[in-house]
C-alpha cells in the first residue's frame, strides 16, 4: 500500500509496528515523532523509520495514518494537540494503548462529526523491555490485536487491518468497557502483584541478603514483568483505576481465604487452592506468542562476529543442556544480533539462562 504513516512515540511498540508495516508495505513512507530526540535518531539510524518529523504538526499534516504509541496519559495530551492541527481529509488515527475507555471517550469528544476516523487499538503482546532498540517486526506474531472502533468508524477497520497485516496478529473487535475489565484481570492486576512481590522481597532483603542470592526460577518467572517501564504502568493503572480497585478487593479476598485455610491447617482446602489454579493454568490455549509460550525460548544478545553463536552452543553442550532449535532473529552489521534458543524443558532453559548470565551474556525469556 502507498501512503504516509506517522508513528508518535517510537519505543518498543511504535518501533515494532513501524518495522511490521514496512515489511509488508515497503512502498509506504514511515515518519516518526518522539519527544525524546535520541529515540528518534536511533529509530532513523536503525532504519525503523524513513524520516524524522521535527514536530508533531510537521508529521501529522501529511500523514494518511497516525499511530499513537506513547504511554496512555501522554496519548491524551498528543490527541488534544492533534485536534488543533489540520489533518488530511481521510486520515485514520489509531493508538496502541493498554487501556481503552479513557482514550475512546476523548477521541469521541475531539473528533465526533469530523472527517477524522479514530479506531482504538491494543496489540496484546509486548515485553518488559522498552525503547526502539528492542523493537522487532515479529513482536505481535500470532498475538491478539484488539480494535475498538466506533460504529461510525467500522467501515475503515478493514483498511487499518490491511496496513497492520505485517504484524501477523489476529484482530479482534472488542467493546471498550469489556477490554479494560479483561486486561485488568489478565495484565494490569498481575503487574501490580508482580511489583508488590518484588517490593516485599526488597524489604526482606534489607534484613537478609540471602534473598537476592537465592531468588531462582520461580521468583524470576512470576516477577519478570516487574522490570517493565514504570511510567507506562503508572499511566495504565491511573486509566483503569476503577476496575483495578474492584479487582484488588477480589484479590485481597482470595489471599485472605488462603490465609484462613492455612491458619486452620485445612490440608484439603490448601490442595484445592493449588489444584484449581493448576487446572485452569494448564487449560490456557498454547500459543507460540501471546499469553503462554508453546515451548521454552531464551533470547540471547550476541555480537555480530564470527564464532559468536558457536561459543554459546558449545557452552550449553559442555554443560549437558539440550536445545531443540536455534534461530538468529536479527543480524545488523556492527550491532548485536539476537539468538533465539528453543528448549523442550523449562528446567533446561533456567539452567541455560543461569549459565549464560554467569558468562556475561544478556538473556531474556521473551523477545
Ligand X SMILES: O=C(O)C(=O)C[C@]1(C(=O)O)C=C[C@@H](O)C=C1
Ligand Y SMILES: NC(=O)c1ccc[n+]([C@@H]2O[C@H](COP(=O)([O-])OP(=O)(O)OC[C@H]3O[C@@H](n4cnc5c(N)ncnc54)[C@H](O)[C@@H]3O)[C@@H](O)[C@H]2O)c1
Question: Residues 6 or more apart from 54 whose CB is under 8 A from it?
Answer: none
CA distances (Å), origin 59, targets 54, 95, 148, 171, 264: 8, 16, 24, 27, 64
Rounded to whole angstroms, the Cα distance separating 241 from 214 reads 35
Copy the grid coordinates of residue 167: 504484524
For ligand Y, which residue of 130, 153, 240, 243 counts as binding (CB under 6 A)?
130
Min CB(82)–ligand Y separation in Å: 11
Give the separation between CA 34 and CA 292, rounded to whole angstroms: 32
Q: Is residue 187 near ligand X by the rule CB under 6 A?
A: yes
Give yes or no for residue 59 binding ligand Y (CB under 6 A).
no
Q: Is 232 in the site for ligand Y (CB under 6 A)?
A: yes
- Residue 366 binding result from ligand Y, ligand X, none, given CB thresholds of 5 to 8 Å by partner type: ligand X
Whole-angstrom distance, CA of residue 211 vs CA of residue 200: 11
Q: Give CA–CA dist 359/278, Å, rounded.
A: 35
127 binds ligand X (CB under 6 A): yes
Among 124, 164, 323, 352, contact with ligand X (rule: CB under 6 A): 124
Is residue 10 near ligand Y by the rule CB under 6 A?
yes
Residue 128 binds ligand X (CB under 6 A): yes
Residue 65: which of ligand X, ligand Y, none does it interact with, CB under 5 to 8 A by kind?
none
Considering only 121-129, 131-139, 239-247, 252-260, which stretch makes contact with ligand X by CB under 6 A?
Answer: 121-129
Query: Would you tell me the crossing angle of helices 241-264 and 267-283 to the nearest 10 degrees?
Result: 140
Q: Which of 16, 98, 167, 240 binds ligand X (CB under 6 A)?
A: 98
CA dihedral 278, 279, 283, 289 (to 10 degrees): 0
What SS3 state is found at 293? strand
Q: Name the residue nearer to ligand X (CB basis): 64 or 141.
A: 141
Report the distance separating Cα 25 and Cα 64, nearest Å.
Answer: 14
Q: Where are the alpha helices (DSSP H) in the chain?
A: 12-24, 37-45, 56-62, 72-82, 101-111, 157-163, 176-183, 189-207, 210-214, 217-223, 230-239, 241-264, 267-283, 308-318, 346-358
x/- track of binding to ligand Y for residues 64-83 (CB under 6 A)? -----xxxx-x--xx-----
- 10 versus 236: smaller Cβ distance to ligand X: 236
Q: How far is the CB of 129 from ligand Y (least distance, A)?
A: 8
CB of 183 to ligand X, least distance (A): 6
In angstroms, rounded to a whole number, what is the distance separating the alpha carbons of residues 94 and 117? Answer: 8
The residue within the footprint of ligand X, chosen from 126, 149, 184, 337 (CB under 6 A), is 126
Contact residues for ligand X, defined by CB under 6 A = 98, 124-128, 187, 225, 228, 366
Contact residues for ligand Y, defined by CB under 6 A = 8-14, 33-36, 39, 69-72, 74, 77-78, 96-98, 122-123, 126-127, 130-131, 229, 232, 236
Amino acid at each position: 500500500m502507498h501512503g504516509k504513516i506517522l508513528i508518535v512515540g517510537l519505543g518498543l511498540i511504535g518501533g515494532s509496528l513501524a518495522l511490521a508495516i514496512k515489511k509488508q508495505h515497503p512502498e509506504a513512507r514511515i515518519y516518526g515523532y518522539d519527544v525524546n530526540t535520541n529515540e528518534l535518531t536511533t529509530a532513523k539510524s536503525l532504519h525503523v523509520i524513513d524520516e524524522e518529523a521535527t514536530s508533531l504538526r510537521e508529521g501529522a499534516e501529511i500523514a494518511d495514518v497516525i499511530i499513537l504509541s506513547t504511554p496512555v496519559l501522554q496519548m491524551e495530551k498528543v490527541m488534544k494537540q492533534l485536534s488543533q492541527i489540520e489533518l488530511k481529509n481521510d486520515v485514520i488515527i489509531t493508538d496502541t494503548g493498554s487501556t481503552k475507555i479513557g482514550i475512546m471517550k476523548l477521541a469521541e469528544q475531539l473528533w465526533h462529526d469530523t472527517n477524522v476516523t479514530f479506531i482504538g487499538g491494543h496489540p496484546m503482546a509486548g515485553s518488559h523491555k522498552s525503547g526502539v532498540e528492542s523493537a522487532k517486526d515479529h513482536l505481535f506474531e500470532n498475538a491478539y490485536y484488539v480494535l475498538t472502533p466506533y460504529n461510525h468508524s467500522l467501515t475503515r477497520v478493514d483498511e487499518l487491518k490491511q496496513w497492520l497485516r505485517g504484524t501477523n496478529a489476529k484482530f479482534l473487535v472488542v467493546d471498550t468497557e469489556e477490554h479494560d475489565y479483561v486486561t485488568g484481570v489478565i495484565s494490569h492486576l498481575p503487574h501490580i502483584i508482580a511489583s508488590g512481590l518484588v517490593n516485599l522481597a526488597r524489604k526482606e532483603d534489607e534484613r537478609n541478603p540471602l534473598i537476592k542470592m537465592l531468588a531462582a526460577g520461580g521468583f524470576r518467572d512470576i516477577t519478570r514483568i516487574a522490570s517493565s517501564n514504570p511510567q507506562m504502568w503508572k499511566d495504565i493503572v491511573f486509566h483503569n483505576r476503577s476496575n483495578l480497585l474492584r479487582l484488588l478487593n477480589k484479590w485481597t479476598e482470595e489471599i485472605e481465604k488462603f490465609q484462613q485455610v492455612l491458619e486452620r491447617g485445612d490440608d484439603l482446602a490448601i490442595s484445592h487452592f493449588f489444584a484449581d489454579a493448576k487446572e485452569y493454568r494448564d487449560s490456557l490455549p498454547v500459543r507460540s506468542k501471546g499469553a503462554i509460550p508453546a515451548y521454552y525460548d531464551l533470547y540471547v544478545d550476541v555480537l555480530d562476529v564470527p564464532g559468536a553463536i558457536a561459543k554459546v552452543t558449545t557452552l550449553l553442550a559442555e554443560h549437558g543442556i539440550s536445545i531443540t532449535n536455534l534461530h538468529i532473529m536479527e543480524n545488523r552489521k556492527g550491532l548485536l544480533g539476537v539468538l533465539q534458543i528453543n528448549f523442550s524443558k523449562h528446567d533446561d532453559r533456567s539452567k541455560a539462562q543461569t549459565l549464560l548470565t554467569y558468562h556475561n551474556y544478556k538473556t531474556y525469556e521473551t523477545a
